[in-house]
Structure 1
Amino acid sequence: MKHNVQLIVNNNVYEQWQEVTVSASMEALARTFSLKVVEKLPKVNSAIAIKNGDACTLLMDGEVLVTGFVNKVDKSYDHQSHSITVSGRDKTGDLVDCSYDGNLYEWNDRNLQQIISDICEPYGIKVILETNIGANFKKFRIEQGERCIESIDRLCRHRGVLRMSDGQGNLVITNSSTKRLSTPVVVGKNVKSSTFSDSQLDIFSRYVVKGQNIGDDNIYAESSAEPQGIATDEAIRHRTTVILAEDIGTNATYAKRAYWEAIVRRARSQTYNYTLDSWKGNDQLWQENRIVKVEDPILGIKRDMLIAGVDFSLNSRGFETKLNLVHPKAFDLLPEPEKEDGSLY
């Protein structure tokens, strides 16, 4: 199947690219692209007038995947041909590089969307909610020299939510999705190649989370000094890790943290990469943060998995999609507690 990539810059539509890479990931705040064309002289010079910093929109088969800016233009030539490579990313990429420069640096009794919207406003980025964001923060302050993404990540960690780009120039607050793509990944049908990684380096048989409670006249010193929570993974040989909690808690809160560590570390220990023969399945582009059914008799799996990342490419092998798949619980997040006074300083 052939696909069409269009880059719109200054109301001009550029297409017929010979090499294409477009990447989207649940862990990256901005989608990225790189497009290349090689032509005989002097055709490229006259046909492509794209400058670094130009606003752009990237469409694949008519669907907008990136809304942002060109951040790099590379040109090369010899006596026979001239090539140009144009790279860029979503508007949200500025949040990764830049510091906040708005008027407010401290917020009181504001919710997550309100604070993140203030951080994004100088960069012309809207914030869209797809999940519950919980209660207001009593206090939040941006640290000196902190990049926007660092402030946003601190806020998101305390509400157990993810931040992603929607490709439309917006920042989306969401969770690990249960939405499903209709096309399965089937070895022997739409899979060209695959790699699998299974690591036990970061998983243990026993997770012990320890912390410090606040003592009072009704709490014995011993129980106040070291509350803890324990979770076990019986499938692993004897391997113990002790995690010192960052905040004050109880046996119950630390047990919840230990259980979360065991589940999520196990989920993230295995990664699957499948290279497919098309950018689409059933007329729908593959998309990150979606559930897909996988049938792989070689690895002996037939179950649902979460698409953590998508790489679309056009090269000498033709049109390909590389899916990075993980267990559906790999991006389940546990909200971090705030300080006793409700601040995130």
Structure 2
Amino acid sequence: MGIEIITVEAAGGRWTAWRDASIRAALKEAARSFRLTIAAELGASATNGLFRAGTPVTIRSNADLLVTGYVDQKQPRFAKGESSDASIVISGRSKAADIIDSSAIHPTGEIENKTLLDIARELDKAGVGFSTDQQLPVIPRFRLTPGESVFSALERVARDQGLALMGEPDGSVRITKAATQRHAGGLFEGRNIKAGEADHNWSNRHSEYRVKGQRPFGSGADALEIEAIARDAGVNRYRPIIIVQDQDTDADRAKARAQNRRDRAAGNSLRCSITTQGFRDDVGTIWTPNRLVWVESDFLDVRQDMLIEGVTFSMSSQGSEAKLDLVDPRAYGGKKGKGNKSGGEWDIGNSPAEVPAQNGGP
């Protein structure tokens, strides 16, 4: 693997000498994060001044942009004596931290007939920036809860639509689902996996997912008794769950919510974390959240495409490595891979959600 050099641009200068460094990016995290330790000389107040809390920073690994954001916290520390030592730890997040920490401000608290992207841009007073790679439905009526953050407001809608709010290297946020892009090569036990652990967990899977809701106007079953059911063919026990839709809905949106909940539960039941040497795949592309990678480990009992949910890049005196948090792609609206060899217990069937007969279904 090639040598990785982490460069931080701040206060008009560039720095590359770090005792250790950690940068994290994840599909379900709107803000990327970082933590860096500087080996400092005792009394070097100039170094302290360069990384004041609130300082804008840009972080790269070689030529690849990783984080654009701000220092949240600075922690200088020293010890005198035989083991005298001085260091400064700086940590922070990408620009999207401002929409996570701050309350949403809107003149009426209500937005009508807009997509999630439109709503995000209307609430983005901090100028973080939003984009999407999806076709988004129009939301008839969106209401803010007083005091909630911009992220919280957007995330509850995204969750209903099976979407994620992912932090980008430039500090903006992308509204997305599981991607179809993949990394070259793969992760193989005995070849390039340094360490790994898996979690095969069925506790949150159900035989059927019933979504119930109402419209804020109208009368009759179409407005007051909306219900949709999605069934998981892989669960052969009676394990139903009811999800109450707390926003305006109709039969189509209820069916989409039921399918999203079923697919996410099935996807989240298969997870693993794998540590590999270096920051890049077989052709030098830096490991990226929301990309697929083939994983093959007999000990972990995983042999299929997995989605990179998060990646933590670490550098120390021991070298550089990446820890990949991986999940079945269906957790984010993706599809089961054609070459899946992890076993039939991960099948959910292909049946779409349906409306019960008493609610106008077949």
With the shorter chain as reference, the TM-score category is: 0.7 to 0.9
Q: In the alignment, which residue of structure 2 is the partner of 1:130?
A: 133
Partner of 2:330: 329
The 1:155/1:7 distance shift into structure 2, 3 A limit, reads: same
Matches within 5 A, 1:177-216: 177-204=179-206, 206-209=207-210, 211=212, 216=220
Q: Report the counterpart of residue 238 of structure 1 in structure 2.
A: 237
Q: CA deviation at 1:289?
A: 0.3
Contact kept in structure 1, 2:23 and 2:313, CA below 8 Å: yes
Aligned to 2:28: 27
In structure 2, relative to structure 1, the CA distance for the partners of 1:176 and 1:63 (3 Å cut) is same
Matched residue, 1:18 = 19
**TM norm structure 1:** 0.83
CA RMSD of aligned residues (A): 2.8
Any idea what the Cα deviations from partners look like across 1:118-141, whole Å, max 9, x if unmatched?
211x21212122111123x33333
Residues 229 and 253 of structure 1 are in contact (CA less than 8 Å); yes or no, is this contact kept in structure 2?
Answer: no
Q: Compared with structure 1, are the counterparts of its residues 36 and 233 closer, same or farther at alpha carbon in structure 2 (3 Å cutoff)?
A: same
Give the corresponding residue for 1:167: 169
Which residue is 2:145 aligned to? 143
Q: CA–CA distance in 1 between the matches of 2:41 and 2:203?
A: 51
Aligned residue identity for 1:145: G
Deviation at 1:78, TM superposition (A): 1.7
Distance apart, 1:108 and its partner CA: 3.1
CA distance in 2, matches of 1:225, 1:141: 22
Answer with 66-75 or 255-264: which moved more: 255-264
Counterparts in 2 of 1:37 and 1:189: CA distance versus 1, 3 Å: same
AA aligned to 2:242 is: I
**CA, structure 1 residues 255+169, in 2 after alignment: closer, same or farther (shift >3 Å)?**
closer
CA apart distance, 1:164: 1.2
Q: What code does the residue aligned with 1:313 have?
A: S
Q: In structure 2, how many angstroms separate the alpha carbons of the residues matched to 1:255 and 1:110?
A: 20
Q: Is the 8 A contact 1:280 1:286 kept in 2?
A: yes
Q: How does 1:1-345 map to 2 (within 5 A)?
A: 1-42=2-43, 44-47=44-47, 49-79=50-80, 80-101=84-105, 103=107, 105-120=109-124, 122-135=125-138, 137-204=139-206, 206-209=207-210, 211=212, 216=220, 229=229, 231-234=231-234, 236=235, 238-246=237-245, 258-281=258-281, 282-332=283-333
Identity across aligned pairs (percent)?
23
Give the structure 1 partner of residue 350 of structure 2: none
Cα distance, 1:244–1:170 mapped onto 2, change above 3 Å? closer
Q: Is the 8 A contact 1:211 1:248 kept in 2?
A: no
Shift >4 Å, 4+ stretches = 212-216, 224-228, 247-250, 252-260
Aligned to 1:340: none
SS of corresponding position for 2:332 = coil
Whole-angstrom CA distance in 2 between matches of 1:147 and 1:197 = 32
Change (3 A) 1:142 1:85: same
**AA of the residue aligned to 1:181:** H
Residue 69 of structure 1 aligns to a residue whose secondary structure is strand
Which consecutive unaligned segments of at least 5 residues does structure 2 have? 335-362
Q: Residue 210 and residue 132 in structure 1: after superposition, are their counterparts in 2 closer, same or farther (change >3 A)? A: closer
Counterparts of 1:115 and 1:19, CA distance in 2: 39
Q: Deviations over 1:3-51 (max 9, x none)?
A: 1111111111111111111111111110000000224434x54445210
Cα distance in 1 for partners of 2:104, 2:259 equals 36
Q: Structure 1's 103 and 275: CA in aligned 2 closer, same or farther, altered over 3 A?
A: same
Q: Which amino acid aligns with 1:128?
A: S
Q: Residue 338 of structure 1 aligns with which residue? A: none
Task: Look up the equivalent residue of 1:75 and give its one-letter code.
Answer: P
Residues in 1 aligned to 2:253 and 2:57: alpha-carbon distance in whole angstroms = 47
